Chains A and B, each alone.
Chain A
Amino acid sequence: MSFWIVNTLNGLSLAMVLFVLSAGLTLVFGLMQIINMAHGSFYLLGGYIALSVIQASGSFIAGLVTACVAVMLLGAGIQRLMLQRLHKQELPQSLLTLGLLFIIADVAFWLWGGNAQLVPKPAMLEGAMTILGVGYPVYRVAIIGMGLFVAVLLWLLLERTRVGALVRAGMDDEEMVRAMGINIPLIFTGMFAFGAGLAALGGVLGGPLLGMFPGADFEVALLAFVVVTVGGLGSVRGAFLGSLLVGLVDNFGAAWFPQFSLFTVIVPMVIVLAIRPTGLAGRA
Chain B
Amino acid sequence: MGPIRMARASGWGEGLLRPMPVAGGAILVVVVLAVAAFLPAYQTELVTQMLIYAIFAMSLDLLVGYTGLPSLGHSAYFGLAAYATALLALKLALPFWLAAALGLACAVIGAFLFNLLALRTARAYYLMITLALSQVLWSLAVSWTDVTGGDNGLPGIARPVLGIRLDGAGVWLVFVALVFAVSTLVMWTLVRSPFGYALRGIRENEERMKALGYDVWRYKLLVSMVAAFFAGVAGILFLSLNSFVGPQALSIALSAQVLLMVLVGAAGTLFGSIFGAVAFVLLQNVVSSWTERWLFVVGAVYVLFALFAPAGALVWVRERLRSSRGRSR
The yes or no answer to A248 lying at the interface (CB within 8 A) is no
Contacts of A228 in B (CB 8 A): 128
Minimum Cβ distance to chain A for residue B247 (Å): 10
Contacts of B64 in A (CB 8 A): 91
The yes or no answer to A184 lying at the interface (CB within 8 A) is no
Contacts of A270 in B (CB 8 A): 117, 132-133, 136
Residue of A nearest to B296 (CB): A106
The yes or no answer to B89 lying at the interface (CB within 8 A) is no
Kindly specify which of B10-18, B26-34, B301-309 makes contact with the partner chain: B301-309
Residues 279-321 of B, flagged 1 when their CB comes within 8 A of A and 0 if not, give 0000000000000010110111111011100110000000000
Is the beta-carbon distance between B299 and A233 smaller than 8 angstroms? Answer: no
Contacts of A82 in B (CB 8 A): 303, 306-307
Residues 71-109 of A, flagged 1 when their CB comes within 8 A of B and 0 if not, give 000000000001001100111111110111111111101
Is the beta-carbon distance between A98 and B256 smaller than 8 angstroms? Answer: yes
Interface residues of A: mostly helix, strand, loop or mixed? helix
The yes or no answer to B131 lying at the interface (CB within 8 A) is yes
The yes or no answer to B329 lying at the interface (CB within 8 A) is no
Contacts of B139 in A (CB 8 A): 260, 262-263, 266
Which residues of B from 115 to 138 have beta carbons under 8 Å from A? 117, 120-121, 123-125, 127-129, 131-133, 135-136, 138
Minimum Cβ distance to chain B for residue A193 (Å): 19
Minimum Cβ distance to chain A for residue B253 (Å): 8
Kindly specify which of B103-111, B208-216, B223-231, B259-267 makes contact with the partner chain: B259-267
Contacts of A103 in B (CB 8 A): 295-296, 299-300, 303
Is the beta-carbon distance between B143 and A262 smaller than 8 angstroms? Answer: yes
A228 to B125, CA, bound (A): 10
Is the beta-carbon distance between B124 and A92 smaller than 8 angstroms? Answer: no
Which residues of B from 77 to 104 have beta carbons under 8 Å from A? none
Kindly specify which of A4-12, A159-167, A273-281 makes contact with the partner chain: A273-281
The yes or no answer to B252 lying at the interface (CB within 8 A) is yes
Contacts of A110 in B (CB 8 A): 293, 296
Contacts of A222 in B (CB 8 A): 135, 252
Is the beta-carbon distance between B306 and A233 smaller than 8 angstroms? Answer: no
Is the beta-carbon distance between B129 and A263 smaller than 8 angstroms? Answer: no
The yes or no answer to B145 lying at the interface (CB within 8 A) is yes
Contacts of A102 in B (CB 8 A): 295-296, 298-299, 302
With contacts A29-B124, A91-B263 taken as known, whether A269 is within 8 angstroms of B301 at the C-beta atoms is no
A270 to B116, CA, bound (A): 12
Contacts of B259 in A (CB 8 A): 94, 98
Residue of B nearest to A276 (CB): B120
Contacts of B136 in A (CB 8 A): 263, 266-267, 270
Is the beta-carbon distance between A261 and B125 smaller than 8 angstroms? Answer: no
Contact of B142 among A85, A101, A262 (CB under 8 A): A262
The yes or no answer to A33 lying at the interface (CB within 8 A) is yes
Q: List 11 contacting pairs A-B, 8 Å CB cutoff, sorted by A.
A: A95-B310, A96-B303, A96-B306, A102-B296, A103-B296, A106-B293, A106-B296, A110-B296, A260-B143, A263-B143, A266-B136
Additional A-B contacts beyond A259-B143, A282-B125 (17; CB < 8 A):
A33-B124, A35-B124, A86-B306, A92-B311, A93-B306, A94-B127, A98-B259, A100-B299, A103-B296, A103-B303, A105-B299, A229-B128, A233-B124, A260-B139, A263-B136, A270-B136, A273-B129
- List B residues at the A interface (Cβ < 8 Å): 64, 70, 117, 120-121, 123-125, 127-129, 131-133, 135-136, 138-140, 142-145, 252-253, 256, 259-260, 263-264, 267, 293, 295-296, 298-303, 305-307, 310-311
- List A residues at the B interface (Cβ < 8 Å): 29, 33, 35, 37, 82, 85-86, 89-96, 98-107, 109-110, 218, 222, 225-226, 228-229, 233, 259-263, 266-267, 269-270, 273-274, 277-278, 282
